[in-house]
Structure 1
Amino acid sequence: MKRHDDSDPLDQEIDFSQAHRGPAITPERDKTRVTISLDTAVVDWFREQVPENGGSYQTLINEALKVHINQQQSRNDLEQTLRRVLREELDARQAA
């Protein structure tokens, strides 16, 4: 038969009078906690990348999204530059 041990934390009363509701870990200042449904295959692929790349699968997904955003912005910048150059060239030809 097991003897009652006062040093066992499970046998002690816990005082929750100073406890607060909310997340146990506050997200970083520039992070937003969201719930999102992703394809299982997508999540599995990112989880498989963790041993090689480090971090967590969530960090890898976040990095992939940032790369995608940067590519979209670069493509939009390139498109705007091309449109400007074409307009300038057309205007120059019409003026000549």
Structure 2
Amino acid sequence: MLSEYDFSGGIRGKHAAAYREGVTVTVHQADGTMEERVYRLPEGAIMLAPDVRSYFPDAETVNRALRILIDLIPASPAKETSP
């Protein structure tokens, strides 16, 4: 980042909720025409909360942690034994 950029008044994640729903952007072309573009998270993409993101910097670490959790989940509910 260049030193003249000042983000001290910015709010992290300000537009995150809107991006999850999809955002429509109008692009004004030099020839006077306008083009609308819709941006959405790709299918299967998950947005991590900022406090979680600091622990999981990339997809590999997220998947590794989830696989560990999956191994801890019983494949089927435990059967109750009668006394």
More helix, by proportion: 1
More strand, by proportion: 2
Task: Give the number of the structure with larger relative contact order, counting CA–CA contacts within 8 Å between residues 6 or more apart.
Answer: 2
